[in-house]
Amino acid sequence: MSEPTPPPERPRHPERVAGIFVAVSWAALVFAVFGAIAVLLDRDPVEQSVSPYFGPVTILLGMGVVYLGIVLTVPARTPWLGALATAAGVYLVTLAAAAVVDISLALAEAVSPFLLAAAALAAAPPIGCWAYFRR
């Protein structure tokens, strides 16, 4: 009689794989929220004349911050510092990208409702992933 096959080993850090999907979902949600805010306020997310790649690049940078926030928050005892750091990271990385283009763009983006919404939404993924993987 043959020995039973042992169950497959679970990955050691499943939050690393899930973090990719959650970060992409965050980007899609932010893109949708930007559209809703643009319609409600009747304004463009970036009012100044910039490259058409500026928006997608900042969303990609934000995705990277959200991914890192998830990966670094899941092992923590509480998610609050990680969520706050992720929101601040999305805000600061977007301001840094805007400052590379033009300082006046960075100043305009600092008080933009679009950036504030993206940063606020960035706090949720680390909390959600922490709660899911801690059970």
On whether residue 53 sits in a domain, the answer given is: yes
Which residue, chain included where needed, has tokens 């039973």? 4
Structural domain containing residue 74:
15-134
On whether residue 121 sits in a domain, the answer given is: yes
- Give the pLDDT mean for 114-121: 97
In this prediction, residue 15 carries a pLDDT of 85
Q: Closest Cα to residue 65, out of 3, 2, 5, 125?
A: 125
On whether residue 86 sits in a domain, the answer given is: yes
Burial of residue 46, with CB atoms counted within 10 A of its CB: 0-12 exposed, 13-18 middle, 19 or more buried: buried
In this prediction, residue 4 carries a pLDDT of 79
- Total count of domains within the chain: 1
On whether residue 8 sits in a domain, the answer given is: no
- Give the pLDDT mean for 32-50: 94
Question: pLDDT tier at 6 (50, 70, 90 boundaries)?
Answer: confident
On whether residue 34 sits in a domain, the answer given is: yes
Question: pLDDT tier at 11 (50, 70, 90 boundaries)?
Answer: low
On whether residue 10 sits in a domain, the answer given is: no
pTM passes above 0.75: yes
Q: Please give the Cα distance from 98 to 78 (Å, whole number).
A: 32
Min mean pLDDT across 25-29, 49-53, 119-123 is at 49-53
